[in-house]
Amino acid sequence: MSKLVPPHGGKGLVCCLLHGSELESEVEKAASLKKVSISGRENGDLIMMGIGGFSPLNGFMNRADWKSVCENMQVSDGTFWPVPVTLSCTKDDADSITTGDEIALENADGKVMATMKVTEKYEMTEADKRWECEKIFLGLGEDSVGGKFWEVAMDDHPGVQMVMGQKAFNLAGPVKVLSEGDFPEKFPGVYMTPKQARAKFDEKGWSKVAALQLRNPMHRSHEYLAKIAIEVCDGVFIHSLVGSLKPGDIPADVRVKCIDTLIEHYFCKDNVVQGGYPLDMRYAGPREGLLHATFRQNYGVNRMLIGRDHAGVGDFYGMFEAQDIFNTIPKPEGAGKALLCQPLNIDWTFYCYKCDGMASLRTCNHGKDDRVILSGTKLRKALSEGAEVPDHFGRDEVLTLLRAYYEGLTEKVEVKMQKAASGDEIK
């Protein structure tokens, strides 16, 4: 009997991925259906619905669910859900589709990823998109307050750019997923379905599992967070995004090698599982922190590590806004409707010379000059510019891998330094 937290939604793992003869039949049918192109984000969302990562969702949201999620962080039946999961299409596509039609969803590589029965189509005006952005991406940081959000968001916020660039209509309906893409082949042993992760945790006898979300290579703060989680839980799930990132971020295969190296040299391996999941980043800060906790519950995780500026970008979010939002979310009644994966909140962490080790604002009473302020952005900026990386920022074995990656780049992307990563906010 599993001791893990149950999947979100009270329906077990809702997996829309087909197998065997059912898959063969649907692939054959899809060849004759109207094709609708999907974005990278929608491709990742489809795979998550396929493998049960987005349980209890079984398709793209209708207008009522979209509106309720933006406003109340709940789908229309009351189940907690923090960000919209929608599918956009052109007006021409929408005009050619009738409610009740079945369509095939084709990704940028020309691969049909799923079929969908269209239950609703609804227009998304510019005003609708702006409203969604303000509900999902507007935070308490310097780039959000005082009416500044729209002055900078279209240039500096990739999540806002993504939503505002969506097509004119949304299509809603249940999906039948035909493929996991190339993730199983590209990241063997790392890419995992919720069922696979749960089996691994059950095999280890774990009941309390913490997840560490990663989109940057692991530096000393990440290592410290993971080890704190191991101390208070049965084990830690180092769970990396292996979907698409913004320009300048380090690709998944490099990050996976860095994590492998850290686990090999600096962790008790029995207490760590490395995994990968197929989503694109939304860069939605606090709302995305909630999404990370929601789908991690489906993976069997009951504690989500939330540190400084979780899933943030630029200076759109307050330092610990992603922690505070967990105190304000709805707690719906009814089996499985509430979020059960809770935050494991950690203060700002750094290396302190006087403490002679990793510390946080809760444990260290020394000054800024005694501290090495750590962040993925600072690390990427230093490496991309060929600058010296301060002592105690990262493990030498990891820095060797990262320097080799940057030396092999033929085109460099400027890495902007935001206040959240600079350490300027530390008194």
Catalytic residue list: 215-216
Alpha-carbon span 303 to 226, nearest angstrom: 12
What are the residue ranges of helices labelled H in 233-284?
A: 252-266
Select from 315, 255, 308, 312 the least CA-distant residue to 288: 312
Q: Which amino acid is at 123?
A: E
Alpha-carbon span 369 to 367, nearest angstrom: 5
Alpha-carbon span 62 to 169, nearest angstrom: 11
Which residues, in sequence order, are CB contacts of 49 under 8 Å at separation 6+? 14, 16, 57, 58, 59, 85, 175, 177
Phi-psi category of residue 30: left, alpha or beta, with phi > 0 → left and psi -120 to 50 → alpha: alpha
Select from 165, 176, 211 the least CA-distant residue to 192: 211
Q: How far apart are the first and last CA of the chain?
A: 49
Residues in the chain: 427
* Strand pairing class (59-60; 87-89): unpaired
Select from 304, 308, 283 the least CA-distant residue to 292: 304
Cα–Cα separations (whole angstroms), residue 337 to 80, 83, 135, 247, 332:
6, 15, 21, 36, 6
